[in-house]
């Protein structure tokens, strides 16, 4: 979807800024909002660019920095921690050869932490883009990531 198309989905009111930013971020392969997009969106909604930037930096799910095609977010909160007996983060980190908050060289994967994603009854849990994965085991984590590598998202 082009930016114009996303903008045309919503009434031209500044209250839709976050909805628009979420759509743009979701839509783009590298999941970030560029400076040009900030300018276009600000003009369209008749708001200051600095306002768009303040929203971008406030919300964890929005980014002004280029990220991978698949953003792997591992839950770090207590219920998941209590049920993580193999270290989810270390497993992914080793498998992809990246550290926390890094992106792989081929720009396929970024590794991030997330706060609780409300799946604590099936901990440990993680999220890749808009998909949630629960009851993780070492094998399962690796399989999920490899299936993304194959491109069959």
Partner 1 sequence: MIEYKELTKKFGKIDPLSINDYLQQDGYKMIRKAIKMGPKKILNEISLSRITGRGGAGFPVSIKMKSFANETGVKYIICNADEGEPGNFKDRYLMENDPHQIIEGMLISAFSTGASRGFIYIRSEYQNAINIMKHTIKEARKYLFLGENILKTSFSFDIEIRRGAGAYVCGEEFALIESIEGKPGRTRVKPPFPSQKGVFGLPTLINNVETFSNLPFIMRIGGREYNNIGSDFASGTKLISLSGNVKNKGLYEVSYGETIKDVIYILGGGIPNNRQIKMVQLGGACGVVIPQSLLDIQIDNERFHIFDSKIGAGALIVIDDRHDIFDIILRNMEFFEHESCGKCTPCREGHGQMVNLVKKFVNFQATKKDYLSLKSLANVIHETSLCGLGQTSPSSIISTMEFFPEDYEKRIEESVRRGQTNG
Q: Which residues bind partner 1 (CB under 8 A)?
A: 14-19, 21-22, 51, 54-55, 58-62, 76-79, 81-83, 114-123, 127, 130-132
Count of alpha carbons within 13 angstroms of residue 73, beta-carbon side: 16
- The item of partner 1, ligand FES, none sharing an interface with residue 100, based on CB under 5 to 8 Å by kind, is none
Tell me the two tokens of residue 124.
């440990």
Q: Tell which one of 80, 89, 98, 111 touches ligand FES (CB under 6 A).
A: 80
Q: How remote is the C-alpha of 42 from its chain's centroid? A: 23
- The item of partner 1, ligand FES, none sharing an interface with residue 141, based on CB under 5 to 8 Å by kind, is none
Tell me the two tokens of residue 56.
């971008």
- Alpha-carbon gap, residue 31 to 92, rounded angstroms: 20
Q: Tell which one of 22, 53, 120, 144 touches ligand FES (CB under 6 A).
A: 120
Smallest separation, CB 126 to ligand FES (Å): 9
Is residue 70 classed as helix, strand or coil in its secondary structure?
A: strand
- The item of partner 1, ligand FES, none sharing an interface with residue 58, based on CB under 5 to 8 Å by kind, is partner 1
- Alpha-carbon gap, residue 143 to 75, rounded angstroms: 18
Task: Name which of 108 and 116 has its Cβ closer to ligand FES.
Answer: 116
Instruction: Compute CA distances 93 → 96, 98, 120, 141, whole Å.
Output: 5, 5, 22, 11
Cβ atoms < 10 Å from Cβ of 135: 12
Q: Tell which one of 47, 55, 116, 142 touches ligand FES (CB under 6 A).
A: 116
Region near ligand FES per CB under 6 A, out of 28-36, 95-103, 118-126, 142-150: 118-126
């Amino acid at each position: 979807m082009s930016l114009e198309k996303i903008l045309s989905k919503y009434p031209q009111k500044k209250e839709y800024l976050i909805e628009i930013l979420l759509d743009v971020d979701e839509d783009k392969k590298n999941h970030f909002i560029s400076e040009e997009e900030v300018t276009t969106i600000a003009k369209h909604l008749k708001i200051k660019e600095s306002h768009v930037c303040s929203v971008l930096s406030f919300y964890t799910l929005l980014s002004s920095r280029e990220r991978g095609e698949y953003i792997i977010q591992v839950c770090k909160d207590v219920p998941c921690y209590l049920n993580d007996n193999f270290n989810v983060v270390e497993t992914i980190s080793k498998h992809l050869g990246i550290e926390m908050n890094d992106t792989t060289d081929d720009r396929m994967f970024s590794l991030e932490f997330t706060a609780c994603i409300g799946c604590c009854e099936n901990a440990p849990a993680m999220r890749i883009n808009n998909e949630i994965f629960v009851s993780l085991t070492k094998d399962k984590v690796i399989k999920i990531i490899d299936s993304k590598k194959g491109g069959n998202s």
